Amino acid sequence: MITGAGGGIGRALALSAVQHGMRVAISDVAVDRLGQTRAALPADDKDIKEITADLTDKGARQRTIDVIESEWGGLDVLVNAAGAGAFGSFLDLEPDSLRRIMEINFFSVAELCRIALPLLRDGIDPLIVNISSMYGRRGVPQWAGYCASKFALSGFSEALRAELVPYGIGLLLVLPGVTKTDFGSRLIANSTHQNLVLSTGIAPEAVAKSVFEGVIRRKNELIVGTDARRMIWANRFFPRWVDRRKGHQVLLGTRR
């Protein structure tokens, strides 16, 4: 099962899964985007399940898992790729935007993992794949809510991974860098009114390829993209330099 399959990394992962011969349940809150993903998948209807759902809703999460259990009788891999963000100064953004981001990027993921575990325990080489971000290792200005949600997801994933050892369920945490998607045009809020273009990022297909290599190698954590590796490395060894650099960027922005 792949959430957030209506575009970006989620859609690329769905295509890769089909190419690897998997049956795939694709989920997204947007009916039209989910339909576009289905149209791009070269697979018979018996091997694809489309599930339109707002996974921040408890009932929708349960119905999603119930569909998979009733149709296929089990679940081997759960990929949490759905995500949302808001851009701008934390002080300029409405409090509701932070709560909405946390609901989508963290709480819905955690609770979906909870209700999927009974199926995963009986799966074949069961695995959870949580798509976090390089911003789940280093916070940056203008993305405070997004960073907070991805930090939460990263910490949750590391803790849950250990708890799943007795059940034989793996957990892969993915930390991609900036990815070439339409994420910037689908923000919950943007107090700067800037048009965020992510065309210089890594291709979502490249992220999907790395993820499946990580799945095959049963890795615990995967950093994808040169920018992600550089930022995480720099923050690990030179955190004060990174702090000064980010603060300087904010000062330059406020002076313009």
Encode pLDDT of 172-183 as tens digits: 999 999 999 988
pLDDT tens-place string over residues 60-79: 999 999 999 999 999 999 99
pLDDT band at 249 (very low <50, low <70, confident <90, very high): confident
pLDDT band at 252 (very low <50, low <70, confident <90, very high): low
> Is 197 part of a structural domain of the chain?
yes
Determine the average pLDDT of the residues in 44-73: 94
CA–CA distance, 217 with 148 (Å, rounded to integer): 29
pTM across the whole model: 0.94
> Is 252 part of a structural domain of the chain?
no
> Is 249 part of a structural domain of the chain?
no
pLDDT band at 253 (very low <50, low <70, confident <90, very high): low
> Is 152 part of a structural domain of the chain?
yes
Domain that holds residue 144: 8-226
CATH of the domain at 92: 3.40.50.720
Residue 207 has pLDDT above 70, yes or no: yes
Determine the average pLDDT of the residues in 183-196: 85
> Is 36 part of a structural domain of the chain?
yes
Highest mean pLDDT among 43-52, 69-78, 178-187, 240-249: 69-78
Give how many domains the chain has, as a whole number. 1
> Is 117 part of a structural domain of the chain?
yes
> Is 172 part of a structural domain of the chain?
yes
Q: Give me the residues paired with residue 190 across strands.
A: 87
> Is 147 part of a structural domain of the chain?
yes
Active site residues: 146
